[in-house]
Structure 1
Amino acid sequence: MGRRKLQRFQENEQNRNVIQSGKELFEQIKGQWNKVQFEQDNDLVVELACGRGEFTVGLAREYPEQNFIGVDIKGSRIWKGSTIALSEGLKNVAFLRTQIELLDRFFEVGEIDELWITFPDPFPRDGDEKRRLTSPRFLDLYQPLMKAGGIIHFKTDNSGLYAYTLELLNERPNCELLAYTDDFYASTWREDHHGIQTRYEKMFSEKGEKIKYLKFRFC
């Protein structure tokens, strides 16, 4: 392991806004995010596969009256968002280091108000369908954790994953599709995101890829 990555891991252990294995809160945080971590009773917004946390931190800047949690398994990526949030004094940001399939170990039923799935791995092979973050397996994981009427946002550059997700949501009677577009930056919803982009979104946009977006909720 490189010295730089090792240093980041050590800083994650000290940073209060990083919840990970080995810390006391890691086993106690379920159902306690607002009370214990944020110490303020605000809507809880979660970003899955947050990477370096650009989007999580960006939303936290725009909405100080909400609490934001970025979830990712890569500690060196989480370090970036964590460090920026601390340097800016953003107390409404935290990062959870875990695998997304274990999400229900860290959130109570109905605890999440809003969920973002931003540029996940498309896993294009048919045999990998269950690994897609919008597959039936994961939708069934998210549903009980969402507050009634809670919104789920999904953004991708991948046409196949977008088409797969759109078709799946239209077929599921427990999902209500609220908006969708295969060209987000030409849509009426672009202003709602305040120009906040993830690293991957910037990279794909610069290459001329159209960004796809949809939002839905569980009935």
Structure 2
Amino acid sequence: MRLRHKPWAKDKLAAHPEWVLTQATEKKGLWKQVFGNDHPLHIEVGMGKGQFVMGMAKRYPEINFVGIEVQESVIVMGLEKLLEDPLPNVRLIHTNGEDLDSLFEENEVDQVYLNFSDPWPKKKHAKRRLTHENFLRRYERVLKADGQLQLKTDNRGLFEYSLVSFSHYGALLDEVSLDLHELNDPDNVQTEYEERFSQMGHPIYRARLHFKRED
């Protein structure tokens, strides 16, 4: 879906450093100081308009959440949500998933969420998929030993590719669901895309996994 360009987005993001961290690389290893507590740290890579990360933050106030989004015109909508309903356990970063190494220290993150990521269907774009091994390496580095990665998507092709990618990388699957909403999981917080696609009758796929660490 093509998004309308918002020429004012850049200035609005810059005007609210209390929510959108402009010098986020300086927070590497210091996220407990950012939030002022030692609560678990969860991150969403590709947060979109922020419905998921905000919903999770409301449901789990004892967890800190960082939403990461590369598109200015999208992340600014997440900022607007925070301005209307401030959540002390949320921060936003305007960047992409390739920057995780510069944002988080090793073993600093408890959970990573990938929700309805761009499937990049062409083979020549496979390295751009957020479940490509290059990204898995980053997630493994920042996740704690008992940390978990969760993927949700309506795209069957991306889901199948991701399962193969996880297996080849050596990750261990904790859950594979081919129709998440049939599970009636009371803990499932939906994204904007999830609501739309499920209403259209699309099955929602979910995988949960962790990385095997050497003893």
Length-normalised TM-score, structure 2 = 0.91
Tell me whether 10-19 or 115-124 shows the greater mean CA deviation. Answer: 10-19
RMSD (Å), alpha carbons: 1.5
Matched, 1:101 2:103: no
Letter of the structure 1 residue corresponding to residue 66 of structure 2:
I
Alignment identity in percent? 34
Q: CA shift at 1:136, angstroms? A: 0.9
Give the residue type in structure 2 aligned to 1:14: A
Asked whether 1:205 is paired with 2:205, we answer no
Quote the Cα distance in structure 1 between the aligned partners of 2:167 and 2:113: 19
SS at match of 2:113: strand
Structure 2 counterparts to residues 37-186 of structure 1, below 5 A: 37-173=34-170, 175-186=171-182
* 1:31 is aligned to 2:33: no
- Residues 133 and 169 in structure 2, CA contact (< 8 A), matched pair in contact too: no
Name the SS for the 1:83 alignment partner.
helix
Give the 3-state SS of the residue equivalent to 2:152 in structure 1: strand
| Segment of structure 1 superposing worse, 108-117 or 74-83 | 74-83
Matched to 1:129, the amino acid is A
CA distance in structure 1 between the aligned counterparts of 2:73 and 2:187, rounded to whole angstroms: 29
Q: Quote the residue 2:209 is aligned against.
A: 216
Would you say the 8 A contact 2:46–2:96 is kept in 1?
no
Q: CA deviation at 1:76?
A: 2.3
Q: Which position in structure 2 is the counterpart of 1:14?
A: 15
1:200 is matched by which residue type in structure 2?
Y
Q: Does 1:192 align with 2:187?
A: yes
Query: CA offsets per residue over residues 51-80 of structure 1, 9 Å max, x none?
Result: 111101000000000100110111221122
Match of 1:150, SS state, is strand
Once the 2 structures are TM-superposed, how far is the Cα of residue 199 of structure 1 from its aligned partner?
1.6
Kindly state the Cα deviation for residue 104 of structure 1 after the two structures are TM-superposed: 0.7
Give yes or no for contact 1:85–1:91 (8 Å, CA) kept in 2: no
- 1:88 Cα deviation (Å)? 2.0
Q: In 2, distance between residues paired with 1:102 and 1:31?
A: 14
How far apart are 1:152 and its partner, in Å? 0.6
1:205: how far off? 1.3
Which residue identity does 2:145 align to in structure 1?
A: A
Residue 149 (structure 1) shift: 1.1
Cα deviation 1:104-150 (Å, max 9, x = unaligned)? 11111111110000000111111111111001111112111101110
Moved more, 92-101 or 198-207: 198-207
